[in-house]
Amino acid sequence: MRVLLVEDDPVLGSAIRDHVASLGHAVDRAHHLAEADELMSVASYEMILLDLRLPDGNGLDLLRKLRRADNPAAIIILTARDRLSERIDGLNAGADDYLVKPFELDELSARITAVARRYSGRTSPVIRTGSAEIDLARRVVMQMNREVFLSSREWIVLEELARKPGATVSKRHLEDAIYAFGMEVESNTIEVYLSRIRKKVGRDTIKTIRGVGYKLVVQ
């Protein structure tokens, strides 16, 4: 999943960026609203982690602008403002969740997973493909009662396919999910990860739709 983090605090911003990236997501960082606008003009994001108090304005203004434009990104507000009225304002403006600073990074992980699952339209986080079970909530793959080890990027590729089970996902979408802005992408990178996943999870679990993309074969 491609994530935009809008946070001006240098220490907290770096900690959040590194933590979310460690989960396998591609994370771009904006320090203020103007930079966020610039990044969104050249990239599409599935999730935005948004601070409210920014050097050049209020994050709620960006939130309202995105919702007026029908931007489909999931948005989680990260802020030190803990008054109930401010939380209500954020949710009414179109935020999907609201996390008050300071917070544990593990709680942020749980919120990201929960919001992403709601956006996928699946009430159950478990998807079955072949002899394997993909648990999106726990971020694990089980096969014959044994956990299958995946690297962070292998997992995020499989997760992107699992969030749209049976649907074709383009190669470009998968590349965007694992590479942050400005990173160099080799032409065969996705094929390498898919090959590794097939060896671990099952050769027939991911189908290549030539010239279009890839899809997870589900039961």
If asked whether residues 75 and 14 sit together in one domain, one would say yes
In which band, very low, low, confident or very high, does the pLDDT at 44 lie, cut at 50, 70 and 90?
confident
Which of 114, 214, 105, 101 lies closest to 168, judged by CA? 214
Lowest mean pLDDT among 63-72, 85-94, 112-121: 112-121
Grade residue 8 by pLDDT with cuts at 50, 70 and 90: very high
Total domains in the fold of the chain: 2
Q: What integer is the mean pLDDT of 120-128?
A: 68
pLDDT tens digits, 45-61 = 989 999 998 999 999 99
Q: What percent of the chain has pLDDT over 70?
A: 93
Name the strands in the sheet holding 47-50, side by side, starting at the edge strand that comes first in the sequence.
26-30, 2-6, 47-50, 74-79, 97-100
Question: Which parts of 121-210 fold into alpha helices (H)?
Answer: 152-162, 171-178, 189-201
Domain end point (choices 88, 120, 152): 120
Q: Check whether residue 109 and residue 130 sit in a common domain.
A: no
pLDDT at site 213: 93
Do 116 and 100 belong together in one domain? yes
Write down the pTM of the prediction. 0.70
Task: Tell me which residue range forms the domain holding 147.
Answer: 126-216
Specify the 3-state DSSP secondary structure of 208.
strand
